[in-house]
Chains A and B, each alone.
Chain A
Amino acid sequence: GENVEQHPSTLSVQEGDSAVIKCTYSDSASNYFPWYKQELGKRPQLIIDIRSNVGEKKDQRIAVTLNKTAKHFSLHITETQPEDSAVYFCAASRDYKLSFGAGTTVTVRA
Chain B
Amino acid sequence: DGGITQSPKYLFRKEGQNVTLSCEQNLNHDAMYWYRQDPGQGLRLIYYSQIVNDFQKGDIAEGYSVSREKKESFPLTVTSAQKNPTAFYLCATQTGYEQYFGPGTRLTVT
Chains A and B belong together in one complex:
yes
Task: Please give the residue numbers on chain A whose beta carbons come within 8 Å of chain B beta carbons, in ascending order.
Answer: 1, 4, 6, 32, 34, 42-46, 49, 51, 89, 93, 96-103
A62 to B90, CA, bound (A): 25
Which residues of B sit under 8 angstroms from A100, Cβ to Cβ?
A: 42-44
The prevalent SS among residues of B at the interface is strand
Question: Among the listed B40, B58, B98, which residue makes an inter-chain contact with A97, where contact means beta carbons less than 8 Å apart?
Answer: B58
Task: Please give the residue numbers on chain B whose beta carbons come within 8 Å of chain A beta carbons, in ascending order.
Answer: 1, 31, 33, 40-45, 48, 50, 58-59, 90, 94, 97-104
Contacts A89-B43, A103-B40 given; does A96 touch B103 at CB 8 Å? no
Which residues of A sit under 8 angstroms from B94, Cβ to Cβ?
A: 96
Which residues of A sit under 8 angstroms from B104, Cβ to Cβ?
A: 43
Contacts A96-B50, A97-B45 given; does A46 touch B40 at CB 8 Å? no
Quick check: A46 and B42 within 8 Å, CB to CB?
no
A-B pairs, top 10 by smallest CB distance, nearest first, are A100-B42, A43-B101, A32-B97, A100-B43, A102-B42, A44-B101, A43-B103, A101-B42, A103-B42, A43-B104
Beyond A43-B102, A97-B48, 8 additional contacts (C-beta under 8 Å) are A44-B101, A45-B101, A49-B97, A96-B31, A96-B94, A97-B58, A99-B45, A100-B43
